[in-house]
Structure 1
């Protein structure tokens, strides 16, 4: 009976109640959306690369190397010599390696030079391998494999020819028109930066920058063999073009082979056993031929989130402050109407309502408004997620999860309802102490 009375009393004040409901709903949506985007952003970043033990690049910051080589954010200031890559990948315990060369683009999408090991060993999410939605990997220096987003947004199909541009970004002043590439494959969507990347053989990068664009910074002279004291049989293999053919496993012509003067942005390493990871990492960081840096992706990702922890806390505090303001708005509304309802409450007392009935009526109204506001906020959250899902995935690589509320999100909602109940107790306590005579008194 008390809840039914609270419901009818609330309906009698539609305008003020609807306004209060709207503010609570919007604040709840903001709080939950910030939390959902924060969690899904962490998950999307963590899912970008999996099964890779080390990322090696020129000596720079750990996070900078991770962002530039995996997430295509920022640029690497220096490159890794091909000779160093050959030496490191031949170390004991290295199961596979993936060379990466960045610096070109196509209509705003990054172009990544690599070899066929990329399609064999690169993994994302929970060690999921790359798969092809159409076509196959590249087989020669005239072919390119597109990420899912590239093919979808640009409307490309298998067999079409495209031209790569020098430099990153949407604007380029040099196009490699003399080296058009044929689309040989389109990768299935992964929800990672792979979707927004064009993959070409390293031999194609070499060919494009050998044809009148040697000043691109990708070419250097081969270091002298006495630059280091390591005594390994493979040091002489750099002189042999057949070795380059074997390493890249591409059906290229002799003139398109990867030269031993090529430079890389970075390379990925996988080991036969995790026991080799720390040892090889230490050796790479102490490498004497050139300054190199080896990072473990998982550790560096945690460092990145530790750096952003203060930002996350600020966003959470702002969202909680908005929720608190909306609840204070409900308190203001209840207190403002309380004086107008003194006659109503007095009449209830006159027909037998006890003081605790009045208290229960007021606090039930506050709980009713808070719960409805939370439900409306959850509905708005899912509408927002559905509307923003495609944009966040294509622009930032963040895959929003459209699933049931998590335990933490339900805890937040529970906390909001408790706070609404406490705030509703303030006008309820005031109504409790109103006397029958005070309510029936006619003021002039």
Structure 2
């Protein structure tokens, strides 16, 4: 065969190579952008929480006005300016992956939604909402990937998955958890043709975070261990407690998202801003009862418990649970991950009064995994993310066992996974048939 005869084959091969590297470049560029967005959201979140607590320094009772008014203003923005930005953002990404490419999918993961998410989450923390920034980073990450790869139609679902997984990885500085979350929650399986590209996006996002803020553990390193023997008796108790509270939380949130039956449901649907303000008042009241510890992400409180310090308020876990519940059903944008970890740590601290021979740090890790699993029903993601966030390897087996128990208990109370149940609400509202193709 002459060179001239081989020329078409070589040209085709070269074209395929360029396309393959072009796709890889898209995923890497998107990952870099997601990493930068995660750092921006973290900085804004810290700024907002500091300023809110400065206001509380003037008067603790300012929250009784500021929080309800803030909730009302944020819900107004989500309804009139940034539709589809409410909630954590993870259900929107799941729904977008189920929809065919088009305006409806784009409306869930557009750059406008991403901007609205960042603005609304910052405002929420500025008025004391019990929300996290990590879940919203998932939607922002998917939106950035969607924008970067608009021309690669056949890889849109993979891009959304990669952006969302990279968002979790960059927000928590937990690359393994990003991969597991993509498999366990977002896709419920893995696409072989995009697995390497998703990994590339996660690496790019992680490197961006590493280069800008350095290598860090989200909750700091802990060497907490659960000694063999009597200490292990607390494990099933903690797991069942986390599963019960987590399943109850999810069931309530899903019920409100689907719409309450009867006159009350119609009233809430007609007056969402008023309802949001009432939820904001609930958050303010829990804040006053918890000595101002139930506001915000709960990061500082959870970190302190993980490192062995008892919470300042004896009912911190319960108040954080209620504050997060009010924030979630109020309809404002905000994630569940960080507040859930704080609730789990708080519940574990209450158990510590009965099991004082068990190290508080170890009990806190069990509580965090148990409650987070109870809420999101992703046991593998839950124990991986807590292990990575604390750089703790000695607790892997107890955390695995706690996650399995909590997952079973949660599913007995709430049979639907919260994110997929909420995604179904978006799909129903979209009025389009989900695509049916193998993962």
Higher helix share: 2
- Say which one has the larger Rg: 1
Query: Normalized against structure 2, the TM-score is what?
Result: 0.20
Higher relative contact order by CA 8 Å / sep ≥ 6: 1 or 2?
A: 1
Query: Normalized against structure 1, the TM-score is what?
Result: 0.20
